[in-house]
Structure 1
Amino acid sequence: MPAASRPKHRAHDRMLRAIAVFKFFKAVLLVTVGLGAFELLRPDVAERAHAWVAALSLRSERVAAQDLLGRLDGVGSAHLEALGAGSFVYATVFAVEGVGLWRARRWAEYITVVTTLSFVPLEAHHLLRHPSPSGVSALTLNLAVVVYLLARLRRRGVSE
């Protein structure tokens, strides 16, 4: 490999590794959500949460926390189990993507493009209903990942 192309290759490897770290972060976040969902199935957790809300000193914080707890009261155990299991499934997918991207595997690039694009309609729909800067950032970041990986796959397809 010519010396002139090595720095560019390393830059691409760094970008793949950055995307892999992003996938690992998502996996950790989803494991946390899954554990939290399963934790909410325990009866003593609801009692502790209500006690914490009562202990909050600011009225505005108490109202917001009570609103959140009220929403959680309406969630059944079957829904929490599905949320927990689904979170673990997606965490596994993101972890596999992350490992594959870290190791610069082409299959991981394809899987990442497909799975990331599959979430774009959901993210866009949610963003239209609940606009927020974080939602725009998440959608933009995911689209940037897809564009980068598609360009990388196209370049690699031409060169091989």
Structure 2
Amino acid sequence: MSRNAGHRDRGLLLIGLFKLGKAILFFLLGVGAIHLLHRDLGDEVMRLVTALKFDPESKVVALLLDKVDLIDAHRLKQISLATFAYSALALTEGVGLVLEKVWAEYLTLFLTISFLPWELYELARRPNWFRLSLLLINLAVLGYLLWLLRRKKVAAEIQVSS
């Protein structure tokens, strides 16, 4: 908990809850990938297309079916493992931030910085509002954590010198 009893950092709480939401999302994606093991993915896509009332003859559906044909059981296992690992990481970040642990602030700072080159590459390769929004959210998180950690460092230096 923070040094001031009863005072919670709303920014850390918000970022922590965001990370916990990501953990839940990626856990569910991992479960979904496992659920699709040993199933005909083309049939599953067509079921979804029909349920969402998309035109099964559209170019988008054809492209999706072509991409789905490239995914085998081994690849689905890899996808589920990666999503579970990312979910565990986001869970660790989220819990640590909600509990206002300094190690979680540094972990989140490191992970946010490490994903920025990939996000910039993806945005440059195929720009869209979703990618831009993710980049802006991560830049806001990065800026806030840098500001918070610097503020804590200055406060600690003042406390030591007094």
CA distance in 1, matches of 2:150, 2:128: 33
Residues 1:94 and 2:90 are matched in the alignment: yes
| Aligned CA distance change for structure 1 residues 52 and 155 (closer, same or farther; 3 Å) | closer
Residues 1:158 and 2:154 are matched in the alignment: yes
Could you report, residue by residue, the CA deviation over 1:21-70 in whole angstroms, capped at 9, with x for unpaired residues?
110111112112212222221325643433454677553x6523343122
Corresponding residue for residue 26 of structure 2: 30
| Aligned CA distance change for structure 1 residues 157 and 45 (closer, same or farther; 3 Å) | same
Aligned partner letter, 2:34: F
Gaps of at least 5 residues in structure 2 are: 157-162
Corresponding residue for residue 129 of structure 2: 133
| Aligned CA distance change for structure 1 residues 51 and 29 (closer, same or farther; 3 Å) | closer
| Aligned CA distance change for structure 1 residues 56 and 88 (closer, same or farther; 3 Å) | closer
Judge conservation of contact 1:39–1:45 (CA < 8 Å) in 2: no
Higher share of residues assigned helix: 1
| Aligned CA distance change for structure 1 residues 79 and 144 (closer, same or farther; 3 Å) | same
Judge conservation of contact 1:53–1:62 (CA < 8 Å) in 2: no
Instruction: Give TM-score, length-normalised by structure 2.
Output: 0.82
Corresponding residue for residue 79 of structure 1: 75
Count of aligned residue pairs for this structure pair: 151
Aligned partner letter, 1:119: F
Residues 1:41 and 2:37 are matched in the alignment: yes
CA distance in 1, matches of 2:116, 2:25: 19
How far 1:136 moved relative to its partner? 0.7
CA distance in 1, matches of 2:52, 2:12: 44
Q: SS of the counterpart of 2:71?
A: coil
